[in-house]
Amino acid sequence: MNEISITQILFVSTALFFIGMYGLFTRRNMITMLMAIELILNSVNINFVAFNKYLYPGKLDGVFFTIFVITIAAAEAAVAIAIIINLYRSHHSIDVDDASELKY
Amino acid sequence: MNNYSYIALIPLLPLATFLMLGLFGRKYFKTFSGTIGTASLLASTVLSLYTAYNYFFIDGKVNGVFQKIIALKYTWLQFSPNVSIDMGIILDPISVMMIVVVTFVSLMVHIFSLGYMKGEERFATYYAFLSLFTFSMLGLVLSSNIFQIYMFWELVGVSSFLLIGYYFEKPSAVAAAKKAFIVTRFADLGFLIGILILAFYSGTLDFGVLIERLTSTQSSQYISITSASFLGASILTWGLTLVFIGGAGKSAMFPLHIWLPDAMEGPTPVSALIHAATMVVAGVYLVARLFPVFSIDVTALQIVTYVGAFSALLAAIIACTQTDIKRVLAYSTMSQIGYMMFALGVSKYGGENGLGYMASMFHLFTHAFFKSLLFLGAGAVIHLVHSNEMKDMGGLRKLMPITHITFLIACLAIAGIPPFAGFFSKEEILLAAYHSNYFVYGIAVFTSGLTAFYMFRLYYSIFWSREADVHDAHHGEGTFSMKLPLIILGVCALVAGFVPIASLITSDGAALETHVDIKFSALPVILAVLGIAMATFLYKTKSDRASNVAEGFGGLYTAAYKKFYIDEIYLFITKKIIFNLIGRPAAWIDKNIVDGFMNLLATTTGKISELIKGFQSGKVQNYALYFFGGILGLAVLFIYLWK
């Protein structure tokens, strides 16, 4: 089995990141946007793990960071879903474009 | 020497009354407010009389010369070790005389108002204002430095404004109040500049020190103020003239007199207090207070003399033609103050030459009594007739005997018939004028004849002229509180001439010998009798004679009736010249350039915000896009461009 080079891993993570970005900017459904944010975070996680493995094999710092990010992501998902529920209660919709009162 | 600190109570009692009535009067003492005001003023009056007794007869004199006593002194604002503004009380013959006059006349007016103003909606407010005025006036005369006098000077102006505008639902009263305030305030500008000049050159605000420094010819201050000059006159002349302008504004001297006749819109007792006996003599008092300095400057004194003499004559001529009784009295006041002014102007400092100073103060003293009596009498008449116009009056002598008798006494006093008060003081003034300036003497004698004429024209028009209508008599002469002051003041107008002012109030404090010279007195008295006779002939019974005489004078009569068009001249200057040439361009600049600049700023900001407000779309994803776009931009900047 060939050794997987860091470039290949970075390709995956970059692709994941831009898919996330694309989803974040194009989807109007907030749940989908939340999922897109998760994708972005996971692409970052992949980067952390990959750099940890290839650049500092003896250390665990990158892995710790990954765990940290996953924790934050969980908390963020909880808060975001709470916001979405409240938004739904007041607007009867979870489309972000319907919640555009805060403008000039 | 006695401790004089109790004198502070004399002005503070009216102040306390003002605060009490002003804050709580309308709510709690609606009907007693008059009594409270009168009682507190009675205490002030008693204290003033006690002070006068102490000062004049017990311990004012040292070696036969009256001293200036600083009764209280308190440093109020300390600017530097040498310059401070103090609050103090000065006692010298003129201030002691003035507190007696002010409290006494004010007391009479308070008592009179109990009847006159009864049933007024704002009775308490009226008494509060009267107390404020009395406080300011007492503060003014007791001031020991020139800055303090200026503060009280302005307070007097304010309370006069409030009292003239007391009937503020009448547009004419509002206009009169504003006119009085603006004209006197304008004059006060001169006063303020004068104060600054004198204080700058003498390095002090205290009257005593200022006079001492500016009158001793060796002092450096004297040399610097007389050697500096501006537009051909020395700075001393300028300073004194400017101070005099302030005095002329308050004392209604030509050409700043236009406010006084209009000020008659106020309640009549107020006219008696402010516009006859006390406030209008503030200008005379000011000149007298600084008299040692005035006396070393010939030019300033000449200005005082000629302004005074001219005002006296002008006002007397106008007074002959007016038909509103209060306006006649107003012009007569202006004329009499003109007398006091030129008496100061012809005087010199010290000894026999200081006769004019003494005469001026003497006339101030006697005038206060008979002029307030005249005004209160007129008030009683107006109370009965409900009109100020002569044509609505006539034949009132039977309806109001006490007013009639006291009014007659006052008329005789102001006309200068012996032995009434005005005779003695006017005599001294004429004598002083005679000794120094024949031209002014001529004006003065002629004016005194005119005075007799117009006062008796007034007297006959009110009390004789025709038979009284029966319906006039519906509520009699007024209450006891209105008659009492008339009687008291009538007695004063009879006896005030016998008060030995000559030995009490002189320019240098030393007693002055005076005597009545029958040969000298004859001419003015004869002229006065002639004036009275002429008034009797023209006005005692209703006839066409008066209007025939008026027609005989033709243009002069019309001009005098129109007050020599001085108001029109003022209106022309202000409306046509100042408004058009200064006011309008200034308004234009303000509207177009000053405001324009601000509007430009505002509209530019508005337009820019119009451009960029689209960014605030309210859509979360747009914001996210800007955010990441920004990060991308910064990344590019830092990684590739920022080397």
- Cα(A8)–Cα(B238) distance, rounded to whole angstroms? 99
A7 to chain B, any CB pair closer than 8 A? The answer is no
User: Do B624 and A99 make contact, defined as CB atoms within 8 angstroms?
Assistant: no
Q: Which of B178, B179, B274, B208 is nearest to B73 (CA)?
A: B208
Q: For residue B86, report the phi and psi dihedrals to the nearest 5 degrees.
A: -105, 160
Residues of B contacting chain A (CB within 8 angstroms): 613-614, 616-621, 624-625, 628
CA-based nearest residue in chain A for residue B621: A25
Of A24, A28, A101, the CB nearest to B624: A24
Partner-chain contact B619 A97, CB within 8 Å = yes
Chain A environment of B618 (Cβ under 8 Å): 99-103
Instruction: Give B-chain residues touching A104 at CB under 8 angstroms.
Output: 613-614, 616
Listing DSSP states for B312-366 in one string gives HHHHHHHHTT--BHHHHHHHHHHHHHHHHHHHHHH--SSGGGGHHHHHHHHHHHH
CB-CB neighbors (< 8 A) of B614 in chain A: 104
Contact across the interface for A96 and B619, Cβ inside 8 Å: yes
Is residue B488 within 8 Å of B566, Cβ to Cβ? Answer: no
Q: Cα separation of B103 and B538, whole Å?
A: 39
Q: Does residue B473 carry a pLDDT above 70?
A: no
Chain B environment of A33 (Cβ under 8 Å): 621
Q: For chain B, how long is the longest CA-to-CA vector?
A: 116
> Structural domains in chain A?
6-97 (1.10.287.3510)
Mean residue pLDDT of chain B comes to 83
Which of B521 and B606 is assigned the larger pLDDT?
B606
Find the residue in A nearest to B619 (Cα).
Answer: A100
ipTM of the complex: 0.80
pLDDT at residue B432, rounded to an integer: 83
Chain A: nearest CA to B639, how far in angstroms? Answer: 18
Q: How far apart are CA B241 and CA B301, in angstroms?
A: 9
User: A96 touching B, CB under 8 A?
Assistant: yes
Nearest CA in chain A to B610: A104
C-alpha closest to that of B221 among B198, B205, B244: B198
Instruction: Confirm or reject contact between A84 and chain B (CB < 8 A).
Output: no
Q: Which residues on chain B are in Cβ contact (under 8 Å) with A100?
A: 617-619
Residue B1 confidence (pLDDT) above 60: no
Query: Could B621 and A99 be called an inter-chain contact, meaning their C-beta atoms sit closer than 8 Å?
Result: no
Phi, psi for B166 (deg, rounded to 5):
-60, -40
pLDDT at B620 over 70: yes
Distance CA B142, CA B136 (A): 10
Counted residue by residue, chain A has a size of 104
* HEC secondary structure over B478-522: CCHHHHHHHHHHHHHHHHHHHCCHHHHCCCCCECCCCCCCHHHHH
Nearest to A25 among B614, B616, B621 (CB): B621
Instruction: Return the pLDDT at A9.
Output: 92
Closest CA to B412 of B471, B456, B473: B456
Phi, psi of B196 (to 5 degrees): -65, -40
Average pLDDT over residues B81-87: 78
Give tens-digit pLDDT for B430-460. 888 888 878 888 888 888 888 888 888 888 8
Tokens encoding B341? 């002014």
Among B616, B620, B628, the residue with its CB nearest the CB of A104 is B616
Closest Cα in chain A to B624 = A25
Res B516: pLDDT: 67
Cβ–Cβ gap B624/A25 under 8 Å: yes
pLDDT confidence of residue B472: 52
Q: What is the pLDDT of residue A63?
A: 92
How deeply is A86 buried, as exposed, middle or buried, from its count of CB atoms within 10 A (0-12, 13-18, 19+)?
Answer: exposed
pLDDT tens figures, B148-160 = 888 999 999 898 8
Which pLDDT score is estimated for B539? Answer: 75
How confident is the model over B198-221, as pLDDT tens digits? 888 887 788 888 887 877 777 777
Count Cβ–Cβ pairs < 8 Å, chain A vs chain B.
Answer: 26
Residues of A in Cβ contact (< 8 Å) with B620: 96, 99
Tell me, yes or no, if A87 comes closer than 8 A to chain B by beta carbon. no
A37 touches chain B (CB under 8 A): no
More confident residue, B400 or B515: B400
With an 8 Å Cβ cutoff, are A96 and B628 in contact?
no
- CA B227, CA B211: separation in Å to the nearest integer? 18
Cα(B159)–Cα(B176) distance, integer angstroms:
14
**What is the model's pLDDT at position B471?**
55
- On whether any CB of chain B is under 8 Å from the CB of A99, the answer is yes
B193/A5 Cα distance (integer angstroms): 94
Q: Do B618 and A101 touch (CB under 8 A)?
A: yes
- The H or E element spanning position B73 is strand B69-78
Distance from CA of B24 to the nearest CA of A (A): 53
**What is the distance between the alpha carbons of residues B110 and B270, in angstroms, rounded to a whole number?**
9
Helices (H), ranges, B54-206: 93-116, 123-142, 146-164, 171-202
Torsion sign across C-alpha atoms B177, B332, B323, B115: positive
Handedness of CA B533, B536, B539, B544 (dihedral sign): negative
Mean pLDDT of B584-589: 89
From A16's Cα to the closest Cα of chain B, the distance in A is 16
Give the pLDDT band (50/70/90) at residue B470.
low
Rounded CA-CA distance B453/B388 in Å is 20
Q: Which two tokens stand for residue A83?
A: 């916001």
Q: Which of B616, B621, B628 sits opposite A103 (nearest CB)?
A: B616
Contact check, Cβ <8 Å, B628/A21: yes
Specify the pLDDT at position A79. 95
pLDDT in tens, B227-254: 777 777 788 888 888 888 888 888 888 8
B-chain residues near A96 (CB < 8 A): 619-621
Q: Is A17's Cβ below 8 Å from some Cβ in B? A: no
pLDDT per residue as tens digits for the range A29-81: 989 999 999 999 999 999 999 999 888 888 888 899 999 999 999 999 999 99
Cα distance between residue B41 and residue B10, in whole Å? 8
Q: Which of B608, B620, B625 to mutate to test the interface with A (most CBs of A within 10 A)?
A: B620
> HSE (CB half, 13 Å, CA atoms) of B218?
0
Smallest Cα distance from A3 to chain B, Å: 31
